[in-house]
Chains A and B, each alone.
Chain A
Amino acid sequence: MSRIGVFVCHCGENISRTVDVEQVAKAAGEIPGVAYSCDYKYMCSDPGQTLLKKAVAEHKLDGVLVAACSPRMHEKTFRKAAEAAGLNPYLCEMANIREHCSWVHEDRDMATAKAKDIVKLMVERVRKGKSLAPITVPVTKRALVIGGGIAGIQAALDVADAGHHVIMVERDPSIGGHMAQLSETFPTLDCSQCIMTPKMVDVANHPNITLYTYSEIEKVEGYIGNFQVTVKHKARSVDESKCTGCGVCMTKCPKKKIPNEFDQGHGMRPAIYVPFPQAVPNTPVIDRENCTMFQSGKCGVCAKVCGPGAVDYEQKDTFTVEDVGAIVVATGFKLYTIDRKPEGSPIQGYGEFGYGTIPDIIDGMTFERLASASGPTGGKILRPSDGKEPKQVVFIQCVGSRAREKGISYCSKVCCMYTAKHTMLYHHKVHDGQAYVFFMDARTPGKGYDEFWRRAVEEEEAVYIRGMVSRMYQRGDKIVVMGSDIQVGTQVEIEADLVVLATAVQPQDGADLLAQKLGISYDKYNFYSEAHAKLKPVECATAGIYLAGACQGPKDIPDTVSQASAAAAKVMTLFAKDKLERDPVVAKVNEKYCVGCFACKKVCAYGAIEEKEIRDRQGNLVKKVAYVNPGVCGGCGTCQATCPSKSIELDGYTDEQIMAMIEAL
């Protein structure tokens, strides 16, 4: 490029306050090859863009540099303007003199000198730039939803209702997630199962949804519009196509006393089971670790009683590969359950609470099961140790949450509300009982939430004590709870029959491993990161992957459902087009110099590099060289830095461009 135009932006005063923009424009004008330079108040405004377009025409510019904010902000804007002026958009670059300069330095001389340098470097980049043609790739209009909690269910139903096929992959034997376990839900106290189970059935019956339960993501390849996902179907030991869901096997299984995960270990289930009566699908699964047949080879009762002959002890894990264009991650949360510091975890436990050793100290989800009509006590609040009705119940909020010294500094968001709900449910069920709540604050920012909390305190007689609990221990059949009331400034001691801990909401175990398969980022707790905290709350930085629900951060049901529908809308936007334009920053091989060592192939994480045979006219193999599939190439450039013969090059980041920039240092 020999006729480059440089446009220096004031950004109102954001840049010009610390950077002498006129000087920068002047210095730019003196760089050889720069045919035009100027400064302007707001380059991104309509008149600013018009100025750029006019200058391109008038001065016959063949490359453009806009020195302004971060390219992450306005690169698209200016590339579009350049394109409208007849330039290849990739010959337009931005020099970041705002985020990287005027906003972070106060000394005017030094900031101006730095801005000039940045412009000088970027002029070289423009000079060595090449026209690139956008790559269009087809979009596979099928979506994958990972996780079948309320988030995944909502997203799947929305996308499926829009007419696109959805593959839902759920790790457990049934969909439903945590919401299926809840008794009644704040802030309206409607029965969770009553609003949840119809949606689960909708998923199962939807003609556009393929449901894989008891399945996991094995491998993810490809990119936006074109993912290939390998799904592992764990052996259920029951053939789903034959099973009628009659449940005879479950009633006949001799092994009946296995703690039921769905009831937080407080109910019992057989070795062949569905997690709960309304499970979707209602096909049982054999828990092989607890099955006599699998452990000792003797039994086989379920196979004998099963009419359609669905029980299959020989079943193996199977794999399918699904082509999808978009992925919604909705893997939800788990509850903090540790009573001591697990090995290798930065998160400290609560040994001093006796959680895990004293049976009548339970967590919030267990309380949900006790309060649930379908739970192990049929909805009666009975304590685990002796089945008696507790008359004094202590609820403790923020266990694990907002405790920096214990390793979690965030607020779990739902505990204030569900604890208020628990005190109400308790009061409705045990009229002569008394609920106490230890809390730091009551956080109730949601529609109807504060009113709900007030009701718990003012009408349902829960006693709220502002303060924390320091210690708990068993005395006779009571639990002595020692804490402080910081409002009154005294120590409190309560003899409780039952203690309920509002334990922190944490990401699922293995959330990081799934993220690594998907190539999405996560924070230090393993919650998945959205692309922008405010403006892109459902997109991942990785194109084509969206987030819904508690896997992104603690969330209640209304927020989860909203985010899930938003993720679905993003998927539908993507599917509205048949073809997708992607950034042409991809690697290309110089076949003349490639020596066929395939070092590049080994380091390419995308599997974009193929072996290509070069033959002479007689068809004899001359040599093998590397070939980059531009649809698959992610554009990282690792191959280029690896190639010993420098025969592979990433468009947009060529050695020539980078070296020219370094020369200009």
Chain B
Amino acid sequence: MHAEHIKHDFEPKIVAFVCTWCTYAGADLAGTSRMQYPSNVRVLKFPCTGRIDPVFILRAFQKGADGVLVSGCHPGDCHYMAGNFHARRRFAAFRALLSFVGVDLNRLQFSWVSAAEGGKWVDVVTELTERVRTMGPMPEFKELEHEEQWSTFAGASVDKSTVLNSPELKEAYDSIG
């Protein structure tokens, strides 16, 4: 089956955070089965979705991702027993927060793709890519990077050296920024 090569005006940048055991292996299976899907996705491998800090997702958006996919083992099938449950709970809260700050949740997709689901991987990636393509680029977060609003309290710009006055905060800042 040959997919047609349509040149699009906008090629969205899609970042996928996946676990090694299920989704990474599922994406491998899509490869060994020679399935075809849009080349927009960049995969970052984690041992488990439980390892994925919401900060990574924020940072990916900030660094130019137009869509983010988080995918791991099906509930109950976590290689590490329960990591994906923690991830699920964490992301439920995180989604609400993102929506609150005005990020269109259509840009962020969570899914479960097992090692046997090469076809599902293709579907999930294709759907997200095409959806984000119609939504267009995501400018808001890229601007954030320049403005560094996250270190701004109550809207007023504050000097970083005075805000980041404890080593913990400094380290936290450095680890994100």
Instruction: Spell out A's residues near B (CB within 8 Å).
Output: 70-72, 96, 98-101, 103-107, 110-111, 113-114, 117-118, 121, 512, 516, 519, 521-523, 529, 541-542, 585, 593, 603, 605-606, 634-638, 640-642, 645-646, 650, 652-653, 655-656, 658-659, 661-663, 665
Contacts and interface: CB of A to CB of B under 8 A. Distances in A.
A606 B28 CA distance: 28
Contacts of A658: 44, 46, 56
Contacts of A104: 30-31, 34-37, 39, 122
22 contacts: A70-B31, A71-B45, A72-B25, A104-B39, A106-B3, A110-B39, A118-B43, A121-B44, A523-B116, A606-B80, A606-B81, A634-B81, A636-B50, A640-B51, A646-B175, A652-B47, A655-B175, A662-B59, A665-B13, A665-B42, A665-B64, A665-B65
A103 B35 CA distance: 8
B39 A637 contact: no
Contacts of A659: 56, 59, 175-176
Nearest to A512: B76
Max chain A C-beta neighbours (<10 A), residue from B25, B63, B73, B82: B82
Interface residues of B, number: 56
A516 B76 CA distance: 7
Interface in B15-61: 15, 21, 24-25, 27-28, 30-32, 34-37, 39, 42-48, 50-53, 56, 59-60
Contacts of B28: 70, 72, 96, 99-100
B86 interface: yes
Given A635-B47, A665-B64, A103 B79 contact: no
A662 B44 contact: yes
Contact of A605 (B2, B3, B13, B82): B82
Contacts of A603: 50, 82, 86
A483 B21 CA distance: 47
A113 B42 CA distance: 11
A595 B45 CA distance: 29
Contacts of B65: 665
A99 B24 CA distance: 10
Contacts of B175: 646, 655-656, 659
A99 B47 contact: no
Contacts of B36: 104-106
B160 to A, nearest CB: 18
Nearest to B62: A662
B147 interface: no
Given A98-B31, A636-B80, A105 B51 contact: no
A636 to B, nearest CB: 3
Contact of B60 (A107, A606, A662): A662
A645 B63 contact: no
A534 to B, nearest CB: 11
Interface in B81-102: 81-83, 86-87, 90
Nearest to A113: B39
A521 B22 CA distance: 10
A414 B59 CA distance: 54
B168 interface: yes
A183 B36 CA distance: 52
A193 B30 CA distance: 47
Contact of A646 (B51, B76, B171): B171
Given A121-B44, A637-B47, 13 more contacts: A118-B43, A529-B115, A529-B116, A605-B78, A638-B50, A640-B53, A653-B47, A653-B51, A661-B44, A662-B15, A662-B59, A665-B13, A665-B64
Contacts of A645: 168
B25, B80, B87 pick with most chain A CB within 10 angstroms: B80
A638 B83 contact: yes
B146 interface: no
- Please name the 8 residue pairs, one residue from A and one from B, whose CB atoms are nearest each other, closest first: A637-B51, A99-B31, A638-B50, A636-B80, A605-B81, A636-B48, A605-B82, A103-B31
A652 B47 CA distance: 9
B31 A121 contact: no
Contacts of B168: 593, 645
Contacts of A71: 45
Contacts of A640: 51, 53
B172 interface: yes
A114 B63 contact: no
Interface string B98-112: 000000000000000
Given A98-B31, A656-B175, A638 B80 contact: yes
B48 to A, nearest CB: 4
Contacts of B77: 521-522
A641 B51 contact: yes
Given A107-B5, A636-B47, A541 B32 contact: no
B20 to A, nearest CB: 8
B54 to A, nearest CB: 8
A12 to B, nearest CB: 15
Contacts of B60: 662, 665
A107 B24 CA distance: 22
A658 B34 CA distance: 29
A636 B31 contact: no
Contacts of B172: 646
Contacts of B35: 104
A96 B64 CA distance: 22
A326 B115 CA distance: 24
Most buried by B among A121, A655, A656, A659: A659
B77 to A, nearest CB: 5
Contacts of B13: 665
Contacts of A111: 39
Nearest to B65: A665
B48 A521 contact: no
Nearest to B29: A99
A605 B80 contact: yes
A50 B102 CA distance: 54
Interface in B121-144: 122
Contacts of A650: 47, 51
A333 B37 CA distance: 39
Contacts of B25: 72
B80 A653 contact: no
Contacts of B47: 585, 635-637, 650, 652-653
A107 B122 CA distance: 16
Contacts of B34: 103-104
Contacts of B64: 665
A583 to B, nearest CB: 10
A645 B47 CA distance: 21
B106 to A, nearest CB: 20
A471 to B, nearest CB: 37
A611 to B, nearest CB: 20
B36 to A, nearest CB: 6
A593 B171 contact: yes
A663 B177 CA distance: 9
A121 B42 contact: yes
Contact of B53 (A99, A101, A606, A655): A655
Contact of B63 (A72, A103, A642, A663): A663
Contacts of A121: 42, 44
A645 B171 CA distance: 10
Contacts of A105: 36-37, 39
Contact of A653 (B46, B73, B79, B87): B46
A118 B16 CA distance: 12
